[in-house]
Structure 1
Amino acid sequence: MDVEGGGSKRVFQRLTGPSSGDPKHQKVCYHWRAGKCNRFPCPYLHRELQPPPPNGTASSKRHHAFAASAATDDHHSGPRRGPNNNNNNNNNNTWGRVHGNAGGNKFIRKTEKVCNYWIQGNCSYGDKCKFIHSWSLGDSFSLLTQLEGHQKVVSGIALPSGSDKLYTGSQDETVRIWDCQSGQCAAMIKLGSQVGCMISEGPWIFVGILNMVKAWNTQTTMELSLSGPVGQVYSLVVGNELLFAGTQDGAILAWKFNAAANCFEPVTSLKGHSLPVISLVVGANRLYSGSMDNSIKVWSLETLQCLQTMTEHNSVVMSVLCWDQFLLSCSIDQTIKVWVATQNGGLEVTYTHNEEHGVLALCGMHDSEGKPVLLCSCNDNTVRLYDLPSFSERGKIFSKQEVRSIQVGPGGLFFTGDGTGQVRVWKWNTLAEPASTA
């Protein structure tokens, strides 16, 4: 699936220079540093001078199709779990600092506004334009394709196990099913209610709507409706063989699947939040819930009792993410907080990362070299990519409206869904692959 794009195309970084011994080939391109080089091939370097990468080979062939059935490598992780950064218990004083070769991935900051005329395909300034002619900055990842069809905010993205289909849910009251080989919409399901969230667990797809959770088994085509929620269902997660749903009235409902009866049976309702629960994550035998009441609650998966309430955020807690022994949380208060367990078993903030804008969603994954990266959506219509634990910036993704959904896929793929209804498919580059600015 090739990407069709208008306007000038940019190649922001060339990872290896020409083999020629010409001294000018060892110079960094001035226009590339300014984000305006449109020469390909360019005789100058499109990277900062640094030690050569480790020996290894990589295919230079760019992938133009995304296949959910591709083999999942050891670094694939969903938004509920972060990759292992091998820092063990000595990490609590290292967040936010530059370590080792983090400088090798340093993000070169450029003019950070996308050209409106380039978006429309008629910018007359070309390489002299002072604005960006690209949907991203950074050399580590490429845009593979854009999926068009939803008319409103994309509120959920899911890839069920064993399926070659991508599922997306939207506030336009539909779920779209995309063929991962062709990139075409294979089917559309009209729900008659806005999709508040969507997850996959094994072959199951769970969709949160008003006063209900819809459950579909993609292998058996079984469809179930789980009643009980009061108001919109904003968050879903599976842990300890239970399905949890965060609802508009502040409750967290739990169901357990009864295989003999082929149904989900209600187990309990966790009470404690005073406003809607909009983020849930499971890790270390705990359930963590983020709410519009500005708090995070920690629940035991065994007893389903609340163990701790954290109130360090001073605005809505939009997303929570488990990463090794750490918990990361983000908020409209323009912060990302890193929590670590204390000797008494509770959690406390070990590092606070400040943003210039409110933070809407977090997602963790590994890049093509196995390095942990945090994807952070902000309400200035950008997604920022950070190396962890240093929080060194790796790049930035731009959208016409806020990105509310980020999902990790197999083989270095990840997906973003924004407020216009557009879903974009991205891929981490190998060493030989240049970044795409389509």
Structure 2
Amino acid sequence: MTEPVVTSVPTKNAASALALLNQKFPVADIILGIKCERAIKWELQIDDDLTPKWNHSIVCVSIEKAPFAKGSCRTAHKLKDWSQPDSKLVGKFSTNKKTTRDSYFTDVLMQTFCSKWAETFNEAKPPKPITFLPSYVYELIDHPPPYPVCGGEPFIEGDYKKHNNNSGYVSSDARNTPQAFSHFSYEHSNHELLIVDIQGVNDFYTDPQIHTKNAQGFGEGNLGETGFHKFLQTHKCNPVCDFLKLKPIGVSKKALLRGTLPVVQLMEFHDAIGIGSNPQQAGGPNKQYDMNYFRNGQGAQQPISLDDEEKLLQEQLERIRAQQKLKSQPPQQPMQKQPSNSNLNSMKNAPKPQANQQPTANNVTQPIAKPQPTPQQPQQQVPVKVETPQQAQPTQAQPVQQAVQQEKPKETPVTTQPQPVQQPVQQQPISIQVRTSPPPQQPQAVQPEQQELPDRSSLEKWDLKNTTNVDTLRGLQSECITGDDLRLYTGSNDGQIGIWDAKELKHISNIRAHIKTIRSISKKSENLLMTAGADCFVKEWDLNTQQVVKEIKEASDVNTIFIQDNLLYTGCNDKTVKVWDMRSYECVKTLNGHSRAIKSVCSTGNLIFSGSNDQQIYVWNLQTGKILTNFQGHEGWVKTLYSHNNYLYSGSHDETIRVWDLKTTKCINTIKCKDRVEALHVTNQGIFAGSGDFLQIFNTENYENLATINTKSSILCLWRRQNQLFTGSLASNLKVWSWTNLN
């Protein structure tokens, strides 16, 4: 597509149009009680031969005097064109007094011409089609000559973003589609022109700028080959550029794995979360992960059905926990899972297994006592030998029995002989410090096993608008929190674990755990607790003896941990996410990609989500350790992540919560909060957010703000027990909130 013939602005028939206007509308009028004025509306039509043709019509318009938005060059006013009274329009006036009438017509010419390019771009079937808004010129003739002129276009609700400009600037969120469109115009014009200054709401664009090779036409913003050079200096190709087969510019392999996904990569992403899988095979991770899972690809497809309600997910987890307790049963070989039809395409392109691939531990310090592996043993080996206080032998990999499927008959498991596993080559041992704990002076009685109650959020109707503070528990400052039906456990900035009675609502005791702040805490099992801190340690605690049973020394501060079955995920200041096998405490994966510290990690099915100070959310494939995509849009630290059903919820220091649809990988809503978001908890009925001093509750379906409560202390963590919510803050207390059941 070549550039159109740039003609002079329309003047022909202007006098006759004005005469006709004076006949039809001799003076300004009032329509429906709203003052209006007369205008000549100019519209541009570009035919297939790229010949521009200006058309004019006679209209009445109403323009609000006060602008609703201001930019560096224009002010935006609400405009009503009474020839199309149901349409919401924006009138744009230049703030530069030297702006000529011609420049308004040039802007319309560029935007209309770009809409033709958008049609060509959309014919290539990109993941996201784009649209340039139709634009007009209004001459307001009820004023003394020269008549005021303004541009007009449809009003689009949403967050207005500038993606790039005419001098090489690229937005920090660097969305793929806008950049790919600029690249597309450059390549498909045979380097004769370049469309930049892409801005607007979502993929509805406005106010573009066109550079041409000869620097002629399209206004003063046309920088010619200088503009080409500035774009080529800053543009980095992305998956959409690759999908459209554009010639690479500043390409990097890592960049091609981020942002909007073409269809093939999106299918792989859907397979990883179980979308399109056989519903009878969908469910939570239903077997224990072992080294073979990461080395040779066994179990690569472990989908989770995110369409299930929270109650069903809880039942699945209960079955897994029950099966883990059947220690007396002999090991059973799990049935080989057959791929569903929806997974076939992605499996054909999957990388071949590499049996010799071993995890590295470059970021972990050396152990206190270096283990001595025995070469070529027939038994399965792990690179690190972990000795417990009872001098127990390393546990062999015990796959959890597959969850019983209702419509399939039971099959007798087949026992196979263990196969030799090739020894790791030059494997660096992991620093796992295990020490024998002395007998406690005052051991606590073992609590009877409690059966976890089903989550009532899927069974009841809650009145969250009337959430009230029912108690305040004094005792300890809380940075993080976890618990069960009997106890709450919090981590404080002085390194202590606080233990609280969840039923009696009182503080019980403290444990001196770390020498610096405890930043994350999580229950491993009924009697085991995991903590992570700014002292670089991850520790496992026996809740009966209140003593450490295992320690992991990381290379830097540990900001977050997340437990999924027998896997532990850690996010650290060294910009990495590590995956640990908690039976051997071997680091089986180190995920590199973020440019700043990791602040939050969560997982669902075969996916790991990580949020960072670099304002990015990366989505990783658990088995391969590769980045599937990243979610962009936050303009501050991504402090908290929460996966629920088909959605990922992210809270950021930019004072927003973003909701990501895992089926489409799109952000479907941005919730504005009162302050920086430090903590999130999501149920079927409500989104609970700790936003500065405020506890905010939003409806999960329509995102309505149900409650905003000033707690008078900055909330750092949240934990829910049925219809009670516990908030920890900088103050030395826990606040307890509750609401009524409307059933």
Q: Normalised by the size of structure 2, how large is the TM-score? A: 0.37
Residue number in structure 2 paired with 1:257: 582
1:170 and 2:492 correspond: yes
SS at match of 2:456: coil
Residue number in structure 1 paired with 2:672: 354
CA drift of 1:357 comes to 2.7
Matches within 5 A, 1:360-375: 360-366=678-684, 372-375=685-688
Residue number in structure 2 paired with 1:420: 731
SS at match of 1:427: strand
Change in CA separation of 1:230 and 1:421 when aligned onto 2, cut-off 3 Å: farther
Matches within 5 A, 1:161-240: 164-191=486-513, 192-203=515-526, 204-209=528-533, 210-218=535-543, 223-239=548-564
Distance 2:662 2:451 in 1: 36
1:145 aligns with one of 444, 466, 471:
471
Distance 2:564 2:508 in 1: 31
Distance 2:468 2:656 in 1: 27
Which whole-Å deviations, capped at 9, do the CAs of 1:27-84 have from their partners, x for residues lacking one?
Answer: xxxxxxxxxxxxxxxxxxxxxxxxxxxxxxxxxxxxxxxxx969623336xxxxxx69
- Kept in 2: contact 1:249–1:274 (CA 8 A): no
Matches within 5 A, 1:316-331: 316-331=637-652
CA drift of 1:428 comes to 2.6
SS at match of 1:230: coil
1:245 aligns with one of 566, 570, 593:
570
Change in CA separation of 1:284 and 1:265 when aligned onto 2, cut-off 3 Å: closer
Q: Which amino acid aligns with 1:304?
A: G
> Aligned residues: percent identity?
22
Change in CA separation of 1:269 and 1:407 when aligned onto 2, cut-off 3 Å: same
Distance 1:184 1:422 in 2: 10
Residue number in structure 1 paired with 2:691: 378
Change in CA separation of 1:288 and 1:84 when aligned onto 2, cut-off 3 Å: farther
Which whole-Å deviations, capped at 9, do the CAs of 1:241-262 have from their partners, x for residues lacking one?
Answer: 210111111111221122xxxx
Change in CA separation of 1:71 and 1:197 when aligned onto 2, cut-off 3 Å: closer
Aligned length: 292
1:158 and 2:488 correspond: no
- Kept in 2: contact 1:399–1:418 (CA 8 A): no
- Kept in 1: contact 2:497–2:510 (CA 8 A): yes
CA drift of 1:298 comes to 0.5
Distance 1:84 1:290 in 2: 31
Distance 1:315 1:236 in 2: 21
Distance 2:674 2:507 in 1: 37
Q: Which amino acid aligns with 2:556?
A: G
Distance 2:688 2:525 in 1: 24
Q: Which amino acid aligns with 2:538?
A: V
Higher relative contact order structure (alpha carbons within 8 Å, sequence separation ≥ 6): 1
1:280 and 2:601 correspond: yes
SS at match of 1:223: strand
Distance 2:473 2:667 in 1: 39
CA drift of 1:320 comes to 1.2
Distance 2:503 2:718 in 1: 20
Change in CA separation of 1:71 and 1:240 when aligned onto 2, cut-off 3 Å: closer
- Kept in 2: contact 1:364–1:374 (CA 8 A): yes
Q: Which amino acid aligns with 2:488?
A: L
- Kept in 2: contact 1:212–1:225 (CA 8 A): no
Which whole-Å deviations, capped at 9, do the CAs of 1:281-331 have from their partners, x for residues lacking one?
Answer: 112421101001110010112222221122221211111111211111121
CA drift of 1:240 comes to 5.1
| Larger proportion of helix | 2
Residue number in structure 1 paired with 2:260: none
Once structures 1 and 2 are overlaid, which stretch shifts more, 238-247 or 263-272? 263-272
SS at match of 1:281: strand
Change in CA separation of 1:302 and 1:84 when aligned onto 2, cut-off 3 Å: farther
- Kept in 2: contact 1:145–1:426 (CA 8 A): yes
Distance 2:561 2:453 in 1: 23
Distance 2:639 2:698 in 1: 18
Q: Which amino acid aligns with 1:197?
A: S
- Kept in 2: contact 1:75–1:365 (CA 8 A): no
Distance 1:378 1:341 in 2: 25
Which whole-Å deviations, capped at 9, do the CAs of 1:195-217 have from their partners, x for residues lacking one?
Answer: 11111233231111121111124
Once structures 1 and 2 are overlaid, which stretch shifts more, 216-225 or 398-407? 216-225
- Structure 2's unaligned 5+ residue stretches are 1-448
Distance 1:228 1:306 in 2: 26
Residue number in structure 2 paired with 1:72: 453
- Kept in 1: contact 2:646–2:663 (CA 8 A): no
Q: Which amino acid aligns with 2:655?
A: Q
- Kept in 2: contact 1:242–1:256 (CA 8 A): yes
Residue number in structure 1 paired with 2:653: 332
Q: Which amino acid aligns with 1:348?
A: K
| Larger proportion of strand | 1
- Kept in 1: contact 2:644–2:683 (CA 8 A): no
Distance 1:353 1:184 in 2: 34
Q: Which amino acid aligns with 1:399?
A: T
- Structure 1's unaligned 5+ residue stretches are 1-67, 77-82, 86-100, 108-137, 367-371, 433-438
